[in-house]
A and B are shown apart, each in its own frame.
Chain A
Amino acid sequence: MTETALQRHRPRKGSLVLPKSDVVPASLAAPMTGLPRFLILCFVAALVLVPLLATALGGFKELGELRTNPFGLPRVWQWENYWGILASARYWRILGNSLFISAVTVALTLAVAAPAAFAFAHLRFFGQRFLFNYFILGLTFPFATAILPLFIKVRDLGLLDTHWGIILPQVAFSQALSILLMRNAFRQLPSELLDAALVDGCGYARFFLWITLPLSRPILATVAVITFVVSWNNFLLPLVVINTNAKYPWTLGLMDYQGEFIVAWQLILAFITLTILPAVLMFVLAQRYIVSGLTAGAVKG
């Protein structure tokens, strides 16, 4: 990669991949500025946000009111729809399950992929090219393709209906992209560092732990974000693996709730709102990191 790429990837507080300059010449902007542009943007924004608002507000209404007052504020705010869910163990349990699964997936992914990426980045060993391409195979297909044999394997390992039955396959499937991203990032670090370290008698492991990892925080954050979001939103794998209500992550819990209260849309809407709230909050609080993480992963992968 070129020097500018190197500059880009040198860790800087708060910035990940978006280039330094966020300003682009005004002549690039469409011939529209000012009011027409603003109106168009508002229109699109309305299309994007209205479903979300209708859902959130719908949770405050009675079922019959949904038919007469789809977009407006509720006539009488039915707080108990929301309170009932917030007060239920079910709601916190499914969020807790998702948090546990996603957190462990991220930790394990980093713990397992980083050393592998380091090995591919810096070490020369027998079968290196072959093994690397072996991992890259994992980028070519989603686990939906192998879901049936995967189910059987999880079953045969006795991991059916356990959170580890979700965590381990997720970690496995995230290896390809994580190793690729981290290998590239590790290679960006000045090679003189490693040479010097080796001359000084520092082993690879110590170099990896004390120098590579600390200097690679941005890419670790990127991989963490991508892995977390994918795990948090995962539906197919838990659907096939988990059967006990108590162990459902929030995606399964949502569909379970909908199946149970299928005639009560107002409750379902409240439940949807409350279950997507954590993701929305995370997004609002950490926008730049999430956007950078997800798009950077896309670009560099």
Chain B
Amino acid sequence: MLVKALSGLALAFAIGLSSAQAADVTVRMLHVNETGDPFWKKIAEDYNATHKGVKVTVDYMENEAYKAKLPTLLQSDDRPDIIYSWAGGVMKAQIEAGYIQDISAHKAEFDQVIYPAPLSAYEVDGKLYGVSVQLSEVLLIYNKAMLAKAGIDPAAMKTWDGFLDVLKKTKGAGVTPLIMGGADKWPMHFFYSYLLMRLGGADVLTTAETTEGGFKAQPFVDAGAKLKELAALEPFQEGWLGTKYLPSQGQFGDGKGAMALQLNGFIQGQQKNATDGKGIPNDQIGQAPFPEVPGGKGKITDTLGGVQGFLVTKDAPPEAIDFLKYFVSAEAQKASAEAGVYVPATKGTDAFIKNPLVAEVARAISNSTWHQNFLDQDLGPSVGRVVNDVSVAIAAGDMTPEEGAQQIQDAWDQR
């Protein structure tokens, strides 16, 4: 009885509130891109200036905090209208739960503006639920000066054994080879993911998902074994297990390590989060693809990366979709492309990219033979997190590759 009474009260309250707000339509966008935030806020400002009666606000939340809060955020009546997404299994779970709006009616318009491949990542069963805004690639980012000091030629990193040699040599020269934000776990799963891709080839995941016990297949175990091999060299900085992602950017910017296997956005991040606020300048940064693994089915042109974008939540006003259309337009994305904060998924923006590093990434993605989405997003919420856990555990010597594969399989079966 009390429940009904309270719900009735809440309903009346809500109706009262919403009718009182006939003035401005508010649209709230929530995202995790620290370096993109100022640009995206500017896009909202521009939109608000030209659209009376609509007020768009753009909020930034830290990556891990966002992922942790998202489930409860979506269940609240106060959910944001536009939410950041990495597509994949997590997005599918959100759609299945009914919290995302179907925007297929606008597909034709978005088709004109966004490259087809990224846009299709936001389609499920033929229906469109969101848009792709940025493309990213995970690659080996290195500090040219530090590698030179250790006498390393980056070309040596093209093969796996060459890469391990480089690590040994770098360490021998007294330079920390790799910066790793182990506390957040997902940075480590990049290594595992790439190894899996290089060993298993383009259908490794689809095969695993559709086969009984598929996640215990050889590529999964081998990827773990190679990761273990790498970690045994102790290439990471002191205290890596306790370092979170953003501070790890700061450490790279402070010159504490020579390389990082990270998103291209890491480059701007390390400049922002270094102790002196400046970090390593662009001309001293090099980028290299993840090495080839001998005997593996994957190619060096296969890329791991994101197709990041936004989803429109249920009950968001039509103004939200309208804002999104403006947001992904080449005109709005121009500033971000020029500043090189990320690779836009909008057609025609590569002409604006001035930063050679970012241009390189854009090329790599468009020439990619297989662009795989981050595993911890692609495989869905609970399995994805287990992949992260397993990667760190194997690297820390806490788990064998076989156990790791078993755990992923268990998580998949129980999801």
Contact = CB atoms under 8 A, between A and B. Distances in A.
A and B touching (C-beta < 8 Å)? yes
Interface of A: 63-64, 151, 155-161, 240, 243-245, 256, 259-260, 262-263
Contact of B275 (A63, A156, A240): A63
A64 B62 CA distance: 24
14 contacts: A155-B75, A157-B3, A157-B6, A158-B7, A158-B10, A158-B14, A158-B77, A161-B76, A161-B77, A240-B72, A243-B79, A259-B64, A263-B246, A263-B273
A166 to B, nearest CB: 13
B72 A243 contact: yes
A158 B72 CA distance: 13
Given A259-B62, A260-B62, A263-B246, A243 B10 contact: no
Interface string B48-72: 0000000000011110110001001
Contact of B62 (A155, A159, A160, A262): A262
Interface residues of B, number: 27
A262 B248 CA distance: 11
A263 B3 contact: no
* 3 closest Cβ pairs, A-B complex: A158-B10, A161-B76, A160-B76
B11 A158 contact: yes
Determine chain B's interface SS by DSSP, over half rule.
Answer: helix
Contacts of B7: 157-158
A156 B11 CA distance: 12
Contacts of B246: 262-263
Nearest to B74: A243
Given A64-B275, A245-B59, A263-B250, A155 B244 contact: no
Nearest to B28: A244
Interface of B: 3, 6-7, 10-11, 14, 59-62, 64-65, 69, 72-73, 75-79, 244, 246-247, 249-250, 273, 275
Nearest to B9: A158
A263 B72 contact: no
Nearest to A152: B75
Given A64-B275, A263-B246, A160 B75 contact: yes
Nearest to B63: A259
Contacts of B77: 158, 160-161
Given A262-B244, A262-B247, A263-B247, A155 B65 contact: no
Nearest to B34: A260
Contacts of A256: 65
B69 to A, nearest CB: 6
Contacts of A157: 3, 6-7, 10
B72 A151 contact: yes
A159 B249 CA distance: 39
A159 B275 contact: no
Contact of B76 (A64, A155, A262): A155
Given A263-B249, A263-B273, 16 more contacts: A63-B275, A155-B75, A157-B3, A157-B10, A158-B7, A158-B10, A158-B14, A158-B77, A159-B6, A159-B10, A243-B69, A243-B72, A243-B73, A262-B62, A262-B246, A263-B250
A159 B14 CA distance: 11
A124 B246 CA distance: 63
A282 B250 CA distance: 38
A65 B271 CA distance: 20
A158 B17 CA distance: 14
Contacts of A161: 76-78
A63 B250 CA distance: 12
**Which of B64, B76, B77, B247 has the most A CB atoms < 10 Å from its CB?**
B76
A89 to B, nearest CB: 15
A276 to B, nearest CB: 21
A161 B11 CA distance: 15
Contacts of B11: 158
Contacts of B61: 259
Nearest to B73: A243
Contacts of A245: 59
Contact of B72 (A63, A160, A262): A160
A244 B57 CA distance: 13
A272 B78 CA distance: 28
Nearest to A168: B6
Contacts of B69: 243
**Which of B7, B11, B72 has the most A CB atoms < 10 Å from its CB?**
B72
**Which of A63, A155, A158 has the most B CB atoms < 10 Å from its CB?**
A158
Nearest to A66: B275
A161 B390 CA distance: 33
